[in-house]
Amino acid sequence: MTITDMSLKDMAIGLEEKQFSSQEATQEHLERIEKLNPQLGAYISVTAKEALAAAEASDKRRANKESKGPLDGIPMALKDIISTNGIATTCASRMLENYTPPYNSTCWQHLEDAGAVLLGKLNMDEFAMGSSTETSYFGVCHNPFDLDYVPGGSSGGSAVAVAADMAAYTLGTDTGGSIRQPAHFCGVVGIKPTYGRVSRFGVIPYASSLDQVGVLAKTCADAGTVLGAISGKDKMDSTSAPEPIPDYAAACTKGVKGLRIGIAKEFCAAGIEDAILAELKRAVEILEREGAVVEDISLPHTEYALPAYYVLASAEASSNLARYDGVRYGLRIPADNLHDMMIATRSAGFGPEVKRRIMLGTYALSSGYYDAYYNKTLQVRTLIKQDYDQIFASGFDCILTPPAPSAAFRIGENTDDPLTMYMQDVCTVPVNLAGLPAMVVPMGLNAEGLPIGIQLIGAPFGEEKLFAAGAAIEGPRIIPPLDI
């Protein structure tokens, strides 16, 4: 086994027992990135010099018996929407192609303080708007299980880097499924925590009431270790919650005996591939065998979640992206006057999907349509949240669902059909509208050799039970057949 094959947990043990150094682990990851990234397109930028310096500092701490814990010296990477002081943060957009933040996001600051080694910044759909990582200004990202297929989005690079052993773990963001769907497509664990569990400070916003930072990792225990490190109240983010932070990695050993798990019929309706439903059935059998009680439930307003999400997310995007006007930072296209300069900058700086969502959102917020669309969406959001509140209040611990209607699809297959692309989010967006935690755990492969995962949804701040259930159904790691 090479260092890059290892889980975070095993890597931490190897470092502690001096089987290898952080510098060796980092160098091995950098060599793998150099070999694979030209074909996979997972990294937008690689910070080799900074990574090796951080690894050297970690080795010195360990030699002096001053290790900072299980993340110290572990090579990892960040979605390129997470601000990093002195390192470009582009959101995979021409608009921010040359933007370098003067400060760290809180989530990265937590990891840097824990001794993490940053390998680089990861590819994504432009401004996190997409389900395939095909809208990136820096090029398409490819699924390591088959280069002709997408890795999911918008955190596609984050999932690919973990699946292809180009990082021990990564951070992504999830606005409507952008961690969970790529985890499903690439055969890795992905956790989107409760809204407010992780600070959003320094994360460039798409839809502020929906965005949440989360983790992609090789195992549930690895994801739990990282989530614990980045969680907590932050004075820089008023929406972050002062909730106690459990030991998520320890929760993976608790088992599921006595847990009550719901299967919502609305998520298993027509349109879900048979192979995914078969893995869902297998997950149910595992959970019941381990002592959980699985029952059918109903979430009646689920059918309204997708249209509600796209109105709400687009409206918030229209507001958040108004700041990119060519005046203060980012791209500027010169023109004869301010008006023409703004038009030219925004026309050149944003890609087609971002422009589409800005226009949808601006329309929904416009005079005469605000009540019909935006306000109505807020009412639907409340009804969706009430559905989940009632289920969890009645004693259920988590809900088991498919993560998407299908496994990965071919690159280019849905680029000319936005509605089909948006349907990829049908199983994930209700979670964001309700502000709940959810996890995707890999289960197996379909007939084409593409990964299939299963989604677990929890009560607010109920991540501990998700890790217990996720670890129960977690099998051996699914490794891509990389013939590159």
Catalytic residues: 79, 154, 178
**DSSP secondary structure string for all residues of 423-438:** GGGTTTHHHHHHT--E
Tokens of 183: 């985890």
CB 152 within 8 A of CB 158: no
> Hey, how many other C-beta atoms are within 10 angstroms of the C-beta on 380?
19
Going along 149-212, which residue ranges are E strands?
Answer: 169-173, 189-192
Give the integer Cα–Cα distance in Å for 383 and 296: 20
Name the pairing type of β-strands 451-458 and 398-401.
antiparallel
CA-wise closest residue to 231 among 197, 192, 201: 197
Beta-carbon contacts of 238 under 8 Å, excluding residues fewer than 6 positions away, are none
**Quick one: which of 320, 319, 323, 314 has its CA closest to 99?**
323
Residues 6 or more apart whose Cβ sits within 8 Å of residue 48 = 30, 119, 120
Reported as type and span, the H/E element at residue 280 is: helix 274-289
Classify residue 98 by burial, with Cβ atoms within 10 Å: 0-12, 13-18, 19+: exposed
